[in-house]
Amino acid sequence: MNIINARLRGKEGLFRVELDGERIAAIAPLSSPSNPAVGDLDAGGNLVTAPFIEPHIHLDATLTAGEPNWNMTGTLFEGIERWAERKATVTHEDTKTRAKKTIDMLVDHGIQHVRTHVDVTDPSLAALKAMVEVRDETRHLINLQIVAFPQEGIESFAGGRALMEEAIAIGADVVGGIPHFENTREQGVSSVKFLMDLAERKDLLVDVHCDETDDPQSRFLEVLAEEARIRGMGARVTASHTTAMGSYDNAYCSKLFRLLKQSEINFISCPTESIHLQGRFDSYPKRRGLTRVAEIDRAGMNICFAQDSIVDPWYPLGNGNIMRILEAGLHICHMLGYEDLQRGLDLITDNSARTLNLGEGYGIEVGRPANLLILSAPNDYEMIRTQGHALASIRNGKLLMQRTPSRVERC
Ligand code: FE2
């Protein structure tokens, strides 16, 4: 299969991208728009990119909003109560069915790489076992990284450390944590040391729910970054959320950024989820409840956007479309300046790939996997402005999805 009349990010002109089986075989410039041969896909002058990425989602909780009760206040705390009710009825098949339905929604929007956090503060580890099966059964659609996520803590949950070890033994790919939720500062610090030891010992990636609160005293990011720095693991470590950074004062942040840069860790922001759940203790002025996305980016550090939830007790909306998250995030983070719009897709493609450590398994380059998208616009700016879509998603050289753009007829 070949794709003709493709625009590539960062390059002038049109290209023909040749696929040979499961690899990209050649990328050749075209002197003028060419006509498709039988079997060719015509990008029509639009962008061809590597697949979109969902780097932070909770597939074990998706599609449960309103079951049995809706979150009436929309707060994080009522969400936890509603989830406790739903969690009591979760079964193996229920988890798998909802996760697969959600994966289909992601695939329909051009996503082929997903990192999901799975709650392991459950002595049966039922959701984790279900998700390990889902990972195998959906390999033709996505690459799935599973994070062992201790929703109720490692140190403050009975048997928390043993459950983390067991989750890794069963097959989780990434070590998670939630230090700001532990009962004390000391427990938060020791949970980070424990999870970093575990990841180092098992040679695994790390992704910690870190300081997901408006509390400016929640300062576990410095602990995570320092542990990553001294162990030389930064590129393999991610701090998710870090929303407290939006409430840190500038003097502390200027010192913190020095450490963050040295540590080389990655960041994930979930802009729609955070603006919905944070700022709930404020009257006015009301904080946005996000981390310092633009500042992290401007400082040369790696940050990307994620959905976090789709129709669950914490967030009732969502449809799998990561472009929606990108658009909202750019607004919320004051990133609609010209330069940001020229490279906006970085936040849901290349930056996310770096976070997930996809390496040479990602990107439009000869020899890399034939995983790519045809988008509905010729550049990042137009893709964002027009609320564009992935029109085709190709995986291992085969079409996974094609979308017909909507048509308007003037009368
Ligand atoms: Fe999360």
pLDDT digit string (tens) for 96-153? 999 999 999 999 999 999 999 999 999 999 999 999 999 999 999 999 999 999 999 9
Centre of ligand 1 from the C-alpha of residue 307, in Å = 9
Q: How is the beta sheet containing 390-395 ordered, strand by strand?
A: 48-49, 372-375, 390-395, 398-402
Identify the DSSP state of 62. T
- What pLDDT digit, counting tens, does each position of 250-296 carry? 999 999 999 999 999 999 999 999 999 999 999 999 999 999 999 99
User: Is residue 381 in some structural domain?
Assistant: yes
Centre of ligand 1 from the C-alpha of residue 377, in Å = 31
What is the band of 409 on the pLDDT scale with cuts at 50, 70, 90?
very high
pLDDT value of position 151: 93
CB 46 within 8 Å of CB 374: yes
One domain, residues 211 and 233: yes
pLDDT at 77 over 90: no
Token couple for 312: 């669950």
Q: In DSSP terms, which residues pair with 315 in a beta bridge?
A: 312
Q: Alpha-carbon distance 15 to 242, whole Å? A: 40
Which residues belong to the active site? 212
- What pLDDT digit, counting tens, does each position of 349-371 carry? 999 999 999 999 999 999 999 99
What is the band of 198 on the pLDDT scale with cuts at 50, 70, 90?
very high
- Looking at the 3D structure of the chain, how many domains does it have? 2
CB 154 within 8 Å of CB 177: yes
One domain, residues 72 and 116: yes
Distances (CA, A) of 83 to 1, 99, 261: 46, 16, 37
User: Is residue 411 in some structural domain?
Assistant: no
pLDDT at 6 over 90: yes
- What pLDDT digit, counting tens, does each position of 31-44 carry? 999 998 998 999 99
User: Which residues contact residue 339 at a Cβ distance below 8 angstroms, ignoring those fewer than 6 apart?
Assistant: none
pLDDT value of position 406: 86
Distances (CA, A) of 65 to 271, 315, 396: 19, 8, 34
pLDDT at 88 over 90: no
One domain, residues 71 and 135: yes
* Residue 20 backbone dihedrals phi, psi, to 5 degrees: -125, 105
pLDDT value of position 301: 98
- What pLDDT digit, counting tens, does each position of 310-338 carry? 999 999 999 999 999 999 999 999 999 99
User: Is residue 408 in some structural domain?
Assistant: no
Centre of ligand 1 from the C-alpha of residue 404, in Å = 32
Centre of ligand 1 from the C-alpha of residue 194, in Å = 20
One domain, residues 46 and 148: no
Report every protein residue that has its C-beta within 5 angstroms of ion ligand 1.
308
What is the band of 226 on the pLDDT scale with cuts at 50, 70, 90?
very high
One domain, residues 115 and 146: yes
One domain, residues 389 and 299: no
Beta-sheet pairing, 111-119 with 143-149: parallel
One domain, residues 302 and 393: no
Centre of ligand 1 from the C-alpha of residue 227, in Å = 21
One domain, residues 293 and 370: no
Centre of ligand 1 from the C-alpha of residue 117, in Å = 7
Centre of ligand 1 from the C-alpha of residue 336, in Å = 25
Centre of ligand 1 from the C-alpha of residue 393, in Å = 26
